[in-house]
Amino acid sequence: MPRKSVLDLQRMKAGSQRIAMITAYDATTARLVDKAGVDIVLVGDSLGMVVQGREDTLGVTMDDMIYHGRCVARGLQSAHLTIDMPFMSYQVSPTQALENAGRLVQEGGAQSVKLEGGARTVDAVRLIVEAGIPVMGHLGLTPQSIHALGGFKVQGRSDAESERLIEDAKLLEDAGVFSIVLEMIPAELAKDITAAVHVPTIGIGAGPDTDGQVLVSNDLWGLDASFQPRFVKRYAELENPMVVAVARFVSEVRDGTFPGPEHSFHRSRGEAKVARLY
């Protein structure tokens, strides 16, 4: 079965079918979320925080995104694969943006790319789309701009900010994006933007009225009990069971009960006779 295309995803909006998107950073995770039936897998630059242990996404490179994209692509059979364009991979010029988008497709296995920002990214979006590479937009809280935004804060609370975000969404649609992520904005604004554009909107911390939802896989699985933002719903609590499992392994190694006979290999009788000759 071929992987979902951007046309499939746009038909989902037309048919009022909600879109489920989740992040993955390796082949094993990709295989599992694909098996569970997600529509889109995002190789997010959130890997800077989730995988690399950074405080933000700003240190993630093109090589990082390409490497993790290749890994994820190998684990997918049906889900659409989109890859984030990292900080400073598209901000310099539309030509730079096109070159790097092309690398994510050629080297990273992306079916589409995602970049942050509204009016300021329109020229880059248009050039990438004209080259035949689908683009997903990203508005609201844009993590690559946290220093300008003053941190990880809800965006679009004022009337002026709301109007600007609605206008940005329309500009992105006109430039050719096939969908738009809306992050950490009031639910009412996300509903207005979803009604204002014809392309699917995918929310994270943006209420229930977008065309789809996205979560970071590690958050969904509860792999970090200390990270509990309001917009995350944990569908499992895996941190403690994983720690307990490793602790059991450590204990059994130290007391000599692992590996047992059932985990060990033995020579056959013929092999043993040959060994005794020498």
What does the pLDDT read at residue 229?
86
132 and 255, same structural domain? Answer: no
Q: Could you tell me if residue 54 is inside a domain?
A: yes
Q: Could you tell me if residue 1 is inside a domain?
A: no
271 and 148, same structural domain? Answer: no
Q: Could you tell me if residue 117 is inside a domain?
A: yes
What does the pLDDT read at residue 151?
85
255 and 158, same structural domain? Answer: no
Choosing from 161, 167, 183, 271, which is the catalytic residue?
Answer: 183
121 and 68, same structural domain? Answer: yes
249 and 216, same structural domain? Answer: no
Q: Could you tell me if residue 231 is inside a domain?
A: yes
Its pTM stands at 0.94
What does the pLDDT read at residue 239?
97
Would you call 208 exposed, middle or buried from its count of C-beta atoms within 10 A (0-12, 13-18, 19+)? Answer: exposed
Q: What is the pLDDT of residues 191-205, one digit of tens each?
A: 999 999 999 999 999
Instruction: Output the domain CATH number for residue 98.
Output: 3.20.20.60
Q: CB–CB of 33/203 below 8 Å?
A: no
The tokens for 140 are 């609201």
- How many domains does the chain contain in total? 2
Closest CA to 7 of 70, 21, 15: 15
Q: Could you tell me if residue 187 is inside a domain?
A: yes
What does the pLDDT read at residue 270?
63
247 and 174, same structural domain? Answer: no
137 and 35, same structural domain? Answer: yes
Q: What is the pLDDT of residues 249-276, one digit of tens each?
A: 999 999 999 999 999 999 887 655 554 5
What does the pLDDT read at residue 271?
57
Active site residue 161: no
90 and 30, same structural domain? Answer: yes
Range of the domain at 22: 6-236
What does the pLDDT read at residue 124?
98
What does the pLDDT read at residue 272?
52
216 and 164, same structural domain? Answer: yes
Q: Could you tell me if residue 63 is inside a domain?
A: yes
176 and 115, same structural domain? Answer: yes
User: Can you list the residues of the chain whose pLDDT is less than 50?
Assistant: 275, 277
Q: Tell me the C-alpha distance between 15 and 144, whole Å.
A: 33
Q: Tell me the C-alpha distance between 14 and 77, whole Å.
A: 24
